[in-house]
Amino acid sequence: GQQLNQSPQSMFIQEGEDVSMNCTSSSIFNTWLWYKQDPGEGPVLLIALYKAGELTSNGRLTAQFGITRKDSFLNISASIPSDVGIYFCAGHRSGGSNYKLTFGKGTLLTVNP
């Protein structure tokens, strides 16, 4: 099935650094979501974006819904060791099958203390 293009695939950073990751698609999405998955767990929703141009923060996390509705980014400021995990973007497409989430392949984040 179709997937979103998520980059980078992996990041290795020092504690305290800021992180940025993004997702792009050739199709329009009417909702963008960012999830984090810890080892052995299911994805947990971090931020949900519902309007083009929307910028939303959740603590040290900030995400934006691109104006074209074909992209989104997630920033993490002042990273800490517990930020380690896999971050997925996901979206609901417009139209009849909007219950279905399409996922990116994930960004593996490693934080060096």
Partner 1 sequence: GAGVSQSPSNKVTEKGKDVELRCDPISGHTALYWYRQRLGQGLEFLIYFQGNSAPDKSGLPSDRFSAERTGESVSTLTIQRTQQEDSAVYLCASSLGAGRETQYFGPGTRLLVL
Binding site for partner 1 (CB under 8 A): 1, 3-4, 6, 30-31, 35, 40-45, 48, 50, 88, 90, 92, 97-106
Nearer Cβ to partner 1 (67/100):
100
Considering the complex, state which of residue 7 and residue 16 has its C-beta at the smaller distance from partner 1.
7
Rounded to a whole number of angstroms, the minimum distance from the CB of residue 78 to partner 1 is: 27
For the record, the structure tokens of 56 come out as 């939303």
- The CA-atom distances, in angstroms, between 15 and each of 23, 39, 71 are 24, 20, 27
Shortest approach of partner 1 to residue 42 CB, angstroms? Answer: 3
- To partner 1, the closest distance from the beta carbon of 7 in angstroms equals 13
Alpha-carbon span 82 to 43, nearest angstrom: 15
Please say which residue, 6 or 72, places its beta carbon nearer to partner 1: 6
* CA atoms within 13 A of residue 99's CA, in its CB half-sphere: 1
Question: How far does CA 51 lie from the centroid of its chain?
Answer: 15
